[in-house]
């Protein structure tokens, strides 16, 4: 019986190829739009053959992977709160410092991912498969917001019984849509956005007052 063969070198080469394909896809999705980007175009941009791109999955799966890499730095369906950077932030004993670090993370992540978020929204409106993938990503994000709201409750910022509502509010405050509204549409500086967001999070209980 033939033995499966693998090596660290081959694994590294495969990972490098996938990273190049995802980077190429992200660039084209942002520049040309999801619908106008073909697998052939991605292959050309990544300097690989079309079958090599096809082995990486469907076009909509590359779109999701491009977002995950841009926003969180890696791929995967695991919770954002499991990433080392977020684990470190959530372990920070001082609340104000933790919020500042979280806002810094969000600012950098949204800055990287803003273009691909727009491409994802447009793709979801035009392509059923992309919409399904986008909705699944939104469900994962909401689960992350529930965990974040639970963290705020654990720190005494909000009551335990308001976690579900707080997750909805957090989902908007930290969203790429809100980020783009302030920093792109309204011309806020990143410092202004950081200050506003940190204040919203520090006074999260006040944001729930009218609900």
pLDDT of residue 147: 96
Please report the pLDDT score of residue 133 as a whole number.
Answer: 87
Domain of residue 79, residue span? 59-207
Provide the whole-model pTM.
0.85
Question: Mean pLDDT for each 10-residue chunk of the chain (211 residues)?
Answer: 65 92 96 94 97 94 92 78 89 97 96 90 89 90 96 96 97 94 96 98 88 66
- Residue 167 belongs to a domain: yes
Residue 7 domain flag: no
pLDDT in the model for residue 209: 75
Give the per-residue pLDDT at 3: 53
CA distances from 35 to 23, 113, 124, 166 (A): 17, 19, 10, 35
Residue 152 covered by a domain:
yes
Q: Give residue 1's pLDDT.
A: 46
Q: Residues 11, 12, 13, 14: is their CA dihedral positive or negative?
A: positive
Give the count of domains, the chain. Answer: 1
CA dist., res. 15 & res. 155, Å (int): 39
196 in any annotated domain: yes
> Is residue 11 in a domain?
no
Query: Which CATH number goes with the domain that contains 123?
Result: 1.10.357
């Amino acid at each position: 019986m033939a033995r499966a063969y693998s090596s660290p070198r081959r694994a590294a080469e495969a990972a490098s190829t996938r990273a190049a394909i995802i980077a190429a896809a992200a660039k084209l999705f942002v520049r040309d739009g999801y619908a106008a980007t073909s697998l052939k175009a991605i292959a050309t941009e990544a300097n690989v053959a079309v079958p090599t791109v096809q082995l990486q999955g469907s076009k909509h799966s590359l779109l999701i992977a491009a977002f995950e890499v841009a926003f969180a730095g890696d791929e995967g369906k695991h919770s954002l709160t499991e990433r080392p950077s977020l684990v470190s932030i959530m372990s920070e004993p001082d609340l104000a410092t933790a919020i500042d670090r979280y806002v810094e993370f969000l600012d950098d992540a949204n800055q990287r991912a803003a273009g691909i978020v727009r491409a994802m929204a447009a793709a979801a409106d035009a392509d059923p498969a992309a919409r399904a993938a986008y909705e699944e990503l939104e469900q994962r994000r909401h689960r992350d917001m529930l965990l974040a709201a639970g963290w705020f409750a654990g720190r005494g910022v909000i009551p335990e019984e308001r976690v579900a509502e707080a997750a909805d509010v957090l989902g908007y405050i930290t969203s790429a849509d809100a980020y783009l509204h302030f920093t792109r549409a309204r011309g806020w500086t990143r410092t202004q956005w950081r200050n506003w967001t940190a204040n919203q999070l520090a006074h999260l209980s006040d944001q729930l007052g009218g609900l």
